């Protein structure tokens, strides 16, 4: 076992080299891991080691057992899901975070973590043009941020009685979100005790955005039936197609009926660093809470979710709990962030954000985000120019939704099948990694152009692979 700083120094230098090698060689790996289910497990001994093992031996097994089972999220041709970007600055900071091993639960347990968090949250308000009067806190994930929003909305709507009495007397609270909303909304509705049935899914329009007329109708219908509309969750950048719900119109409806408005901008929120993208967030000041994930598109490795609220008192009243052993003399004068969310123990997440924001500079973040948006435009041009491909949704951000549609094939099921096949083959090639969704019953390929290290030539190669694979499939069909 490593026993002293000098041994640690030796291993740490080697580790630094290994990590730098990884970044240098990352494009040599297949993007999507090729292991079969159970393969990694079968290479791991069933019993834990009894005696100490040297780091060199552990690293040898890391190369042999672990690396083949890694899907390379930091590969420039990772175009699947949404990115979980890292960056050099973020990795360095994460290393320091582990060394310091902070518990940022209350101010006293880490004054620097608490105050740095306060500052970077203020910085991000400015960087992203968020309303001045908001207050921010870091959560682990958007799921946890949205859960905090629903719990606070629940307490507000019930006069803080559900925390005390439980749900029994208030079983008719309702949540509203579009049919394209992220699954974390339903999860939060379940965990917060609303019940899945009280999450009302509102239809979307032709560009997959919330139909606000249908929202208002649903609210009125529910009120007439004795329900209390409690919270609306609107999305800027849905997970399926990066659609944008009309924030202002939704906010006006929420104000009219005194309903909490939570905005989920987990992925697309980073785009607001560009003034020319802020029209998507018009009406943001009407929101009660807002979440976006620097751990997706802002070059900060998982986890770091930025949660902003209009009224921190509401949030604190929802979560505050004060056992004797956590009473301090600074209470009330400082932020004790354990009262701002679900967890007591909290990681020092602000450190990596501080590194990233300073090392990139706001300008550097803007430049990279703009490049990603330009690459999405380039890809969507290629698709529109190609007779055998079509876009399936507007390209609002760095996500392109498309499918292969050879002219002579019109049957929906057949198209779904060949696109599923195309996806499998492209991913098996190891050259790139795409994911899919269903839009209006059509199997849709999703290609994200927002990986930290993505350059034009990577995307050209990826598009080339998609084209070539589709041609091979077409040749096979003709022969068959």
Ligand X SMILES: *Cc1c(COP(=O)(O)O)cnc(C)c1O
Q: Give the residues lining the site for ligand X (CB under 6 A).
A: 82, 141-143, 182, 184, 235, 238-239, 264, 266-267, 293, 305
Minimum distance from residue 177 beta carbon to ligand X (Å): 10
Residue with smaller CB distance to ligand X, 137 or 465:
137
Minimum distance from residue 346 beta carbon to ligand X (Å): 16
Residue with smaller CB distance to ligand X, 283 or 364:
283
d(CA 13, CA 18): 9
What's the number of CA atoms in the CB half-sphere (13 Å) around residue 395?
24
**Residue 203 pairs with which residues in a beta bridge?**
none
Question: 212: closest CA among 175, 157, 251, 165?
Answer: 251
Minimum distance from residue 386 beta carbon to ligand X (Å): 28
CA–CA–CA angle 211, 271, 276 (5° rounding)? 85
CA–CA–CA angle 123, 455, 69 (5° rounding)? 90
Minimum distance from residue 397 beta carbon to ligand X (Å): 11
Question: 242: closest CA among 424, 70, 444?
Answer: 444
Residue with smaller CB distance to ligand X, 167 or 302:
302
Residue with smaller CB distance to ligand X, 238 or 449:
238
Residue with smaller CB distance to ligand X, 235 or 368:
235
Residue with smaller CB distance to ligand X, 290 or 348:
290
3-state helix, strand, coil in the chain (%, to 5): 50, 15, 35
Minimum distance from residue 184 beta carbon to ligand X (Å): 5
The strands making up 260-264's β-sheet, listed across from edge to edge, are: 135-139, 305-309, 289-292, 260-264, 228-235, 173-178, 199-202
Residue with smaller CB distance to ligand X, 87 or 270:
270
CA–CA–CA angle 349, 354, 358 (5° rounding)? 160
What's the number of CA atoms in the CB half-sphere (13 Å) around residue 341?
27
Alpha helix (H) residue ranges in 84-141: 88-100, 111-127
Residue with smaller CB distance to ligand X, 205 or 390:
205
Minimum distance from residue 244 beta carbon to ligand X (Å): 11
Residue with smaller CB distance to ligand X, 184 or 451:
184
Minimum distance from residue 293 beta carbon to ligand X (Å): 5
Radius of gyration of the chain measured on its C-alpha atoms: 24
The CA distances from residue 382 to 124, 154, 393, 396, in Å, are: 34, 47, 15, 16
Q: 437 phi and psi, to 5 degrees? A: -150, 175
The answer to whether 474 and 119 have CB atoms below 8 angstroms apart is no
- Coil, strand or helix: which one is 174? strand
Residue with smaller CB distance to ligand X, 87 or 382:
87
Minimum distance from residue 142 beta carbon to ligand X (Å): 3
Residue with smaller CB distance to ligand X, 120 or 144:
144
Question: 297: closest CA among 270, 264, 273, 265?
Answer: 270
Minimum distance from residue 76 beta carbon to ligand X (Å): 20
User: What is the CA 22 to chain-centroid distance, rounded?
Assistant: 24
Question: 117: closest CA among 321, 341, 273, 272?
Answer: 341
Minimum distance from residue 266 beta carbon to ligand X (Å): 3
Q: 4 phi and psi, to 5 degrees? A: -145, 165
Minimum distance from residue 299 beta carbon to ligand X (Å): 15
């Amino acid at each position: 076992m490593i026993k002293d700083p000098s041994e640690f120094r030796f291993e740490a230098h080697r580790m630094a080299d290994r990590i730098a090698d990884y970044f240098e060689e990352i494009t040599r790996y297949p993007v999507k891991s090729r292991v079969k289910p159970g393969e990694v497990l079968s290479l791991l001994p069933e019993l834990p080691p009894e005696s100490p093992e040297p780091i060199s031996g552990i690293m040898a097994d890391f190369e042999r057992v672990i690396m083949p089972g890694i899907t390379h999220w930091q590969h420039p041709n990772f175009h699947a899901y949404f990115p979980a970007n890292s960056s050099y600055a973020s990795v360095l900071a994460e290393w320091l975070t582990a060394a310091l091993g902070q518990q940022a639960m209350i101010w006293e347990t880490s004054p620097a973590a608490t105050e740095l968090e306060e500052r970077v949250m203020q910085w991000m308000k400015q960087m992203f043009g968020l309303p001045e009067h908001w207050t921010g806190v870091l959560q682990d994930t958007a799921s946890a941020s949205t859960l905090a929003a629903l719990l606070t909305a629940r307490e507000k709507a019930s006069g803080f009685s559900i925390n005390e009495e439980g749900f029994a007397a208030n079983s008719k609270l309702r949540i509203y979100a579009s049919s394209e909303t992220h699954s974390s909304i339903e999860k939060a509705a379940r965990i917060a005790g609303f019940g899945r049935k009280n999450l009302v899914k509102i239809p979307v329009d032709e560009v997959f955005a919330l139909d606000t007329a249908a929202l208002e109708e649903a609210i009125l219908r529910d009120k007439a039936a004795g329900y209390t509309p409690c919270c609306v969750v609107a999305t800027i950048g849905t997970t399926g197609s990066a659609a944008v719900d009309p924030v202002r119109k939704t906010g006006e409806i929420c104000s009219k009926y005194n309903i909490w408005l939570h905005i989920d901008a987990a992925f697309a929120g980073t785009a607001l660093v560009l003034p020319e993208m802020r029209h998507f967030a018009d009406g943001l000041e009407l929101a009660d809470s807002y979440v976006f994930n620097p751990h997706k598109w802002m070059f900060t490795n998982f986890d770091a979710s930025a949660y902003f609220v209009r009224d921190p008192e509401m949030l604190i009243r929802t979560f505050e709990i004060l056992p004797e052993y956590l009473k301090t003399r600074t209470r009330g004068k400082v932020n004790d962030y354990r009262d701002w969310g679900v967890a007591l123990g909290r990681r020092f997440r602000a450190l990596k954000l501080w590194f990233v924001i300073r090392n990139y500079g706001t300008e550097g973040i803007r430049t990279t985000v703009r490049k990603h948006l330009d690459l999405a435009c380039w890809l969507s041009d290629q698709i529109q120019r190609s007779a055998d491909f079509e876009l399936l949704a507007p390209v609002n951000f760095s996500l392109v939704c498309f499918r292969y549609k050879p002219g002579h094939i019109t049957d929906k099921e057949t198209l779904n099948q060949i696109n599923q096949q195309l996806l499998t083959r492209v991913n098996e090639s190891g050259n790139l990694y795409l994911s899919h969704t269903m839009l209006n019953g059509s199997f849709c390929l999703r290609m994200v152009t927002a990986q930290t290290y993505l350059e034009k030539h990577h995307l050209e190669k990826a598009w080339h692979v998609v084209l070539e694979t589709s041609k091979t499939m077409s040749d096979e069909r003709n022969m068959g």
